[in-house]
Structure 1
Amino acid sequence: MFVLANLVDTIRIEAKEFRKEAATAIHEAINVKFANKVLQDVGLCVCLHDLLSCSAGKVRWGDGCLYYQVTFRLVVFRPMIGEVLLGKIKSSNEDGIRVSMGFYDDIYIPATLIPSPRGYDHTERAWFWVLNPADDEQIEQDPLMVPKEDRAYLDRDEPIRFRVEADEFHEAEPGPVFGEGKAVTAEHAAKPKEAPYVVIGGITSSGLGLPSWWSNAEQVMEE
């Protein structure tokens, strides 16, 4: 789930930080610059792990700051494909389920990766899985015909175990510039911003989905 990424960057230390040890000031500056940021093709940066090397500080004309060429390692959130993680259901819609891990919310389980037979209950705003379908073909055509007591709901705030199927990085696109005399259009205001890093999960394999599904199954087998 977490990996170490080697990076090289020029770190700027302002004059007000000169009272601190150089390593401490650099450590803090790296965390301010990278923590909770997404780096393309790297992942979500969490914090600095360690410093590998550092040049002598150089002063550039005009600002009085010290600049260090630093090689360092960051702790990065980027789960491997096939890795199984445990999160919590944040929300659901007709397209699928959004999952949160507390520090990261851009995990999506598309409808096609929810076990079948499945259906979306608009009243409950939740997906459900039919555990013991009596007529697979009929239920596939209309899952909502299944009585509620026979549905295994994937409710909001429930813990959910999922398998990482893919991840995607999206470059931020520049939007229109709004200034004096320029209003934000309704179309632009309503357009959702695409997350810079998205994890795609699935729950179609045995043992995935709500942990309660499988604990109940184990109890039945024991009985």
Structure 2
Amino acid sequence: MFVLTRISDVIPVSPELFDADYTKVLVEEIDRKYANKVVADVGLCITLYDFVHIGDAFVHPADGTSHSQVEFRMVVFRPFVGEVLKGRIVSCTDEHIRVSMDFVQDIIIPSYALQTPSYFDTAERLWVWKYSEGQEKFYMDLHEEIRFRASDKAVAEGDMRQSLARRRSSSVDLSDTDPTPSAIHILGTIDEDGLGLTSWWVN
């Protein structure tokens, strides 16, 4: 699910930041460029892990900006189809359940991929797994932890600005209440033994 990936890039630093701690500035600039951005054939970049090498800074004569060749490791979210993941239920409709993993909000479990048999309780606005006739009904309550298997995934193009990693950067003014759009979308299933709400499978 999470992997460390090496990335090499030239990182620019503007002149007004020359008096600041150079390493901290590089951290912010890398966060600004990569956090919550999908890199092709790599995955969804979450945050900088560490530096492998920081090269010498070269100043561009046109604008005074310095440029450093930097090699670093990023924490990358790279789920694979078939992987079992955990999240929390954030909403239900008669068509699907939506699950959040904090940094990935758009995880959809369609109605046809729920435990069989399941039905939508229109009064409670929740999905219910009816394990067997006469037995207890298992409600899929909001905010409950759910275990699911990734059945498909898709990625969005471009740099999604609002990310948990980016919020740590003082250079970007984001409120904690701002919605965080997902750069990756996952389709899941829970129609297997051991999947569904984790509370269902506690002995």
Instruction: Give the TM-score category using the shorter length.
Output: 0.7 to 0.9
Structure 2 residue aligned with 1:30 = 30
C-alpha separation between the residues in 2 aligned to 1:96 and 1:5? 33
User: Larger C-alpha radius of gyration, 1 or 2?
Assistant: 1
- Do residues 162 (structure 1) and 184 (structure 2) align? no
Q: CA deviation at 1:60?
A: 1.8
Alignment partner, residue 52 of structure 2: 52
Once the two structures are TM-superposed, the CA of residue 5 in structure 1 deviates from its matched residue by 1.9
Unaligned segments of structure 1, at least 5 residues = 135-148, 173-193, 219-223
Partner of 2:194: 207
* Deviates further, 32-41 or 89-98: 32-41
Aligned to 1:98: 98
How much does 1:56 deviate? 2.1
Q: Please tell me the residue identity of whatever aligns with 1:203.
A: I
Displacement, 1:195? Answer: 4.8
User: Structure 1 length normalisation: TM-score?
Assistant: 0.72
Secondary structure of the equivalent of 1:55?
strand
State the distance in 1 between where 2:24 and 2:156 align.
Answer: 33
| Identity percentage of aligned residues | 40
Counterpart amino acid of residue 156 in structure 2: H
Letter aligned with residue 157 of structure 1: H
Partner of 1:190: none
Distance (Å, rounded) in 1 between the aligned partners of 2:189 and 2:6: 30
Residues 3-45 of structure 1, C-alpha deviations (whole Å, 9 max, x = no match):
1122222211111221234333222321222223333443222
- From the two aligned structures, give the one with the greater helix fraction: 1
SS at match of 2:56: coil
CA offsets 1:159-213 (integer angstroms, 9 cap, x no match): 11112222211336xxxxxxxxxxxxxxxxxxxxx95311222111111111222
For 2:25 and 2:92, the matched residues in 1 are separated by 43
Q: Deviations over 1:40-97 (max 9, x none)?
A: 4432222111222333222223221101122221101222333322211000112211
- Per chain length, whose mean CA-contact separation is higher, i.e. which structure has more relative contact order (CA < 8 Å, sep 6+)? 2
Matches within 5 A, 1:162-181: 162-171=148-157
Task: Give the match for residue 63 of structure 1.
Answer: 63
Residue 140 of structure 1 corresponds to which residue in structure 2? none
What SS class does the counterpart of residue 102 from structure 1 fall into? coil
Structure 2 Cα separation of the partners of residues 163 and 42 of structure 1: 20
Aligned partners of 2:155 and 2:29: how far apart in 1? 25
More strand by share: 2
Distance in 1 (alpha carbons) for counterparts of 2:92 and 2:19:
51
Q: Secondary structure at the match of 1:112?
A: helix
TM-score after normalising by structure 2: 0.78
The alignment's C-alpha RMSD in Å is 2.3
* Number of equivalenced pairs: 181
Match of residue 10 from structure 2: 10
